[in-house]
Structure 1
Amino acid sequence: MTKHTNEFSAWDYVVFSLMLCVSAGIGVYHALCGGRQSTSNEYLMADRQMSAFPVGLSLLASFMSAITVLGTPAEIYNYGTMFWWFGLTYLFVCLGAAHLFLPIFYKLQLTSAYEYLEKRFNRAVRLCGTFTFFAQMLLYLGIVIYAPALALNQVTGFTLWGAVWACGIVCTFYCTVGGLKAVIWTDVFQVSVMIAGFIAVIIKGSIDMGGFSNVWDIANKGGRIEFVDFRVDPRVRHSFWSICIGGFFTWIAIYGVNQSQVQRYLSCKTMKDAQIALYFNILGLFIIVSLASMCGLVMYAIYEDCDPYTAGYVSQTDQLMPYLVMDILAAFPGIPGLFVAAMFSGALSTVSSGLNSLAAVLGEDVIKPVFKPTEERYTKISKVVVCSFGLVCIGMAYVASQLGDVLQAALSIFGMIGGPLLGLFMLGMFFPWTNSIGAVCGLFSGLGFSFWVGIGAQFYPPEAQWLNKKDLSTELCNDSFTTLSPFATTMMPTTEEPYSNLAETWYAMSYLWYSGVAVLSTVFFGLLASFISGARDPSELDPELITPLSDILFCCFPSRCRKALRCGVLYDDTTENATSLDYVDTNGSKKTMESQHYQNGTYETAMVVKSFPDSNQAQKTDNNGFDNVGFD
């Protein structure tokens, strides 16, 4: 096997350009239809009228970025199928997000997730969370734009900065003009393109290898089929426990409290729609990780005896997937372009979600409280903010280009910052004793611990026995340039002796535990500081700010037992937080709506319609979108 020299054809550029045009067109459509994005509620929250299906696909696309398209197949190729266990992790992540975090956010009808922190603690805690989120997203989005452009440039000859600018400008354009509706519907289109790209690779690769059953057999002989690593040592890079427990903390920080996801929940018509969208994600995430893993197996079967990375055909493992595409699909004009479109669809969906969420957080947490603009002016400012953040992300791509191999480092940083943020929200929602001093101390303690282990790992990289990297061969490579590949010297230490120094052993911890360590340290030091400075009295807290864990986790227990486990939070057992609101229907009849917010660990809304005599009433709209009134 020799290094291929295939490059993009005219048809590939046409297919890729069509994807960008469709994405931009969706933005233009939503800029011209409906209310034309003239209010902040429509622009940032899609009028809170989205249904479960598009929101579910948007949630799926938001963090299934080009990093997934590039990184997951390379992971399976190099390390085997343990990563596939994430399909189980996503089940618990979506269920946890739907029942532990979503009810609080939806009930309060927030725009920025960090508004919760001010309601629960104070404005200082809210701003700490806000600016931590800014640091997290701006760095991540720059990498999301730059990483796929770099991989494609070195493998396909696709213009590096042309790809960066195309992705950044198109994404910024449709986010600016179309608002959250455009972001959600382009996500629907883009996740479809991502799946089509995966399927094209799997079908063609399987045909070349005589069927997927042969692919599986070859991967099994090469040690890639592995699902039974149950070692409990936290230094094992990917074990069942690190993926299912450590991975849970990593992804619940995204699906539970990240603004990009929370904003989509709150755009749904009802909380039931939002929960259905999350349930739909369980299946969608499993399909995505399965398709990406199958691509990795196909890649191994094709390159079993000639690893392109070890042979020096590519300079980074993240380039293996586009290299495979150009190797097996170049003879079909337009199909490589489809894969590139799939990769950049992942980047566009992530960046657009990030831009919209950054604008919402900056507007609600900084601009509104400080400048108090009118509704019309605030909407215009939000559009300018989206455009500005888009340019900043393109600038961050330039910064990323100067940092060398930053893809894995950026993902680790994303987890290291997301963990403390998750811990901060958990302190507020799950631990009623936490005060504002404890919240701030917990956040910075979590950041300190996670950066300590993450940065230390750069100086004391884990040993080969913990990485569990599989053997690769260049036996059939005809023009191998192994000296170009640094892997053998930098990634595979020859010693099998464990580190004697305790700190070095600590640094060898799998990156999947970073978020878990950050959450535990945030909660521990947050509670410690709270009790030292004077813990909150749970009976004085608004119960709508606290997740009723006892009723959710122990719903089958007698009510007396559940009440004892509520830590003193005063939920109303008699009325179950039910309220009655009088309203006028479209025919002018006076009726009563009974809204039952909390029942058996979930928050539901039920309507009971009753006619009653005419009287003077003043109409308004409640938080769930019902037209309701109060008597004069």
Structure 2
Amino acid sequence: MAIIKQTFTIVDYIVFSLTVLASVAIGIYFAFTGRKKNTTLNYFHGDRKLKYGPVALSLVVTFQSSIMLLGFPAEVYLFGYMICLFNIGQCAAIFLATKIIVPLMYPLKITSVYHYLQLRYGNNSVRILSVTIGIISQSIYMGIVLLGPAIALQSVTEIPIWTSILCIALAAIIYTSIGGILAVIWTDVLQCFIIIIGILSTLIKGTIDTGGVSVVFQENIKTGRLDMLNFSPNPTIRHTFWTVLIGSFIGSFSLTLSQSTIQRFNSTPTIGDAKKVLFIAGPVFIVMQTLSMSVGLVCFAYYTVNACDPISSGRIRNPNQIVPYMIAEIFRNYPGLSGLFISALFSASLSTLSSILAGLSAVTVEDFIRPHFTLSDSFLTVIAKVTVVVYGGVGIAVAFIISQLEGSLTQILFSVMGAATGPLVGIFFLSMFFRRATDKGAIIGGITGIVFTFWICIGSTVSRDIPRPRPLQLPPILHAQSSIQQ
């Protein structure tokens, strides 16, 4: 197996470094300007005076991560474009959220989404169960988010995975802990534009080098990658119309009920602004996600035309490296552009990671500390900052564990996160839509759901009797050497 040697130039390193330093600088700025407002209201909500535009863009990049920029294109490269049907379920989930979630949650003015469950049932039992599930699932998600850009950077440089994981985590921990939600949101705005530029530059240059849009479509049609009409009810098939549609709806609805989402639209001045956040964030997110999935089509067409599949030839170890590997090839004569794409990857991960850290910090203070201890608001703010550091360490540990697993980031995300977030969404559904639901019913249903879903998740991983999905036809291999200079 050939090892991919360093392809970064000094310009690439400069572009990449400036992106990380800009994010940290924003955190330091808001830590300095907000030093006289050392309150939890300011730290968690920006005094509830945030504009809906920046909040919406922040929410867009919070939903995104290295999963979108690496996992989705790799999934399309191997299994086809049917995953794009995710957008239908997401549209339905976002529409439902503007009609139900915002009118329900905004008037409560809650910091933690799990506080709603205490108000609903009059006790802490369901709240504690749900917040425990939420913390565990978000900790796992942090690990996945940290791993993605580390894999990508290793594919174009000699930087080991552990170094990248620590770099991303430390940057997010620094600006989130000292700057609070304001630092998170304005850093997200910067990172949103970097991600857009990264995706568009990859699509445009990759399409040009392949031979044009028509060639991209022709090569993908030949292998069935654009076949999106598989209505099979068989749940063991990797992607069908039903599994993608239903799974995307539940997964997207869980995003609208996530701590990061509730915390953001509850930071706006009015309920109208809160609805505008979702009305803007939803379409922008779907467009960016569709473009990112389309990168997978371009990757396949590019390597088909060049008859040089890097997976089959062993030039990359992991399918999640397929996009950065192509980036290194198509931009090898354009110093700085490879660094720009890696910067987009790091930006996507930084934004998601910082949002998760801010949410976990708020949950810890509001659900575990404030209800049980009489502490000053300024001291609670200090605790919130410390918990950001603690959860950052947890995310690093989880990332190192997940780095030992095989499979695409998308596969790991859907299997593990689905097992945790599915029962959690079920608890909220039961609580919101059924008046006669009791706390005992919610607890029993939640625990049963977790046991059942994790049984399926673990069983599907270790069982040898379950058929494994086979990729679609991959590009041929005619070249012994990659066009990257070895």
Residues 75 and 408 in structure 2, CA contact (< 8 A), matched pair in contact too: no
| In 2, Cα distance between equivalents of 1:457 and 1:112 | 34
Counterpart for residue 341 of structure 2: 339
- For 1:70 and 1:375, how far apart are their aligned partners in 2? 41
Contact kept in structure 2, 1:80 and 1:224, CA below 8 Å: yes
Superposition deviation, residue 425 in structure 1: 1.0
Mapping 1:519-534, distance limit 5 Å = none
Report the equivalent of 1:64: 64
Distance in 2 of aligned mates of 1:381 and 1:216: 54
**2:449 aligns to what?**
446
- Counterpart for residue 237 of structure 1: 238
Contact 1:156 1:322 in 2 (8 A): no
Structure 1 470/399 Cα, relative in aligned 2: closer, same or farther at 3 Å? Answer: closer
For residues 102-128 of structure 1, the C-alpha deviation after alignment (integer angstroms, 9 at most, x for no partner) is 221111110111111111121121111
Aligned equivalent of 1:206: 207
| Paired residues, number | 476
Q: Indicate if the aligned counterparts of 1:309 and 1:316 stay in contact, CA closer than 8 A.
A: yes
**Bigger Cα displacement from structure 2, 4-13 vs 363-372:** 4-13
Aligned residue for 1:472? 474
Cα drift, residue 223 of structure 1:
2.3
Shift of 1:35: 6.1
- After the TM superposition, which of the residue ranges 444-453 and 154-163 deviates more from structure 2? 154-163
Deviations 1:351-404 (A, max 9, x none): 101000000000001111222211111111111111222222223323334455
Q: Alignment partner of 2:225: what SS?
A: coil
Matched, 1:314 2:316: yes
Normalising by structure 2, what TM-score?
0.93
User: Is the CA contact 1:60–1:281 (under 8 Å) kept in the aligned structure 2?
Assistant: yes
Question: Which residue does 1:52 correspond to in 2?
Answer: 52
1:307–1:104 Cα change, 3 Å: same
Q: Does 1:11 align with 2:11?
A: yes
Higher relative contact order (CA 8 A, sep 6+): 2
Q: For 2:37 and 2:234, how far apart are their aligned partners in 1?
A: 52
In 2, are the aligned partners of 1:140 and 1:411 still within 8 Å (CA)?
no
Please name the residue that 1:499 is paired with. Answer: none
SS in 2 for 1:230: coil
Decide whether the 8 Å contact of 1:8 with 1:157 is kept in 2: no
1:120-163, Cα deviation, whole Å (9 max, x unpaired): 12112111111111111112202211232133214432343332
Q: Give ranges in structure 1 of 5+ residues lacking alignment.
A: 481-632
Which residue of structure 1 aligns with residue 378 of structure 2?
A: 376
Contact 2:5 2:158 (8 Å CA) reproduced: no
On the 8 A contact 2:103/2:271 being kept in 1, the answer is yes
Matched, 1:221 2:236: no
TM-score normalised to structure 1 length: 0.72
Quote the offset at 1:474 in angstroms: 3.1
Residues 478-627 of structure 1 aligned to structure 2 (within 5 Å): 478=480
Report the Cα offset of residue 410 of structure 1.
Answer: 4.3
Higher radius of gyration, 1 or 2: 1
Q: How many Å separate the matches in 2 of 1:6 and 1:398?
A: 23
1:152 alignment counterpart: 153
Partner SS for 1:371: coil
Structure 2 residue 273 is the aligned partner of structure 1 residue 273: yes
What is the DSSP-based 3-state SS (H/G/I as helix, E as strand, rest coil) of the residue aligned with 1:312?
coil
- Contact 1:6–1:326 (Cα < 8 Å) also in 2: no
Deviation at 1:230, TM superposition (A): 2.4
- The 8 Å contact of residues 44 and 181 in structure 2, kept in 1 or not, is answered as yes
Cα–Cα, structure 1 residues 412 and 170, in superposed 2: closer, same or farther, change >3 Å? same
Distance 2:144 2:408 in 1: 8
Q: Distance in 2 between matches of 1:129 and 1:221?
A: 47
- In structure 2, what is the Cα distance between the partners aligned to 1:399 and 1:225? 35
Deviates more, 1:291-300 or 1:229-238: 229-238
Partner of 1:135: 136
Selected match of 2:460 from 438, 457, 460: 457
Structure with the higher helix share, 1 or 2: 2
- Are the equivalent residues in 2 in contact too, given 1:78–1:469 (CA < 8 A)? yes
Contact persistence 1:58–1:188 (CA under 8 A): yes
Matches of 1:346 and 1:22, distance apart in 2: 14
Deviation at 1:406, TM superposition (A): 8.0
**Alignment counterpart, residue 402 of structure 2, candidates 400, 403, 407:** 400
Partners of 1:347 and 1:211 lie apart in 2 by 31
Q: 2:356 aligns with which of 340, 347, 354?
A: 354
1:477-504 Cα shifts (integer Å, max 9, x gaps):
3259xxxxxxxxxxxxxxxxxxxxxxxx
Deviation at 1:414, TM superposition (A): 1.0
- Provide Cα deviations, 1:76-126, integer angstroms capped at 9, x if missing partner: 111111111122222111111222222211111101111111111211211
What SS is found at the alignment partner of 1:303?
helix
- The alpha-carbon distance between structure 1 residues 431 and 313, as it changes in their structure 2 partners (threshold 3 A), is same
- Give the partner amino acid of 1:422: V
Distance 1:309 1:13 in 2: 26
Q: Closer, same or farther in 2 for the Cα pair 1:163/1:468, shift >3 Å?
A: closer
Q: Which moved more, 1:390-399 or 1:104-113?
A: 390-399
Q: Is the contact made by 1:67 and 1:148 (CA closer than 8 Å) also made in structure 2?
A: no
Further displaced range: 172-181 or 237-246: 237-246
Cα offsets for 1:320-357 (capped at 9, x unmatched): 11111111112211111001001111110111010000
What is the aligned-residue identity percentage?
37
Deviations 1:1-35 (A, max 9, x none): x9864521111110011101111111122122256
Residue equivalent to 2:263: 263
Mark the CA change 1:476 to 1:36 in structure 2 (over 3 Å): closer, same or farther.
farther
* Distance change in 2, residues 1:453/1:474 (3 Å): same
Q: Output the aligned Cα RMSD.
A: 2.0
Deviates more, 1:389-398 or 1:17-26: 389-398
Deviation at 1:306, TM superposition (A): 2.2
Equivalent residues of 1:37, 1:179 under 8 A apart: no
Gapped regions of structure 2 (runs ≥ 5): none
Query: Structure 1 residue 405: deviation in Å?
Result: 5.2
**2:370 aligns to what SS in structure 1?**
helix
Q: Within 1, Cα distance between the matches of 2:212 and 2:67? A: 27
- Say which SS state the counterpart of residue 371 (structure 2) adopts: helix
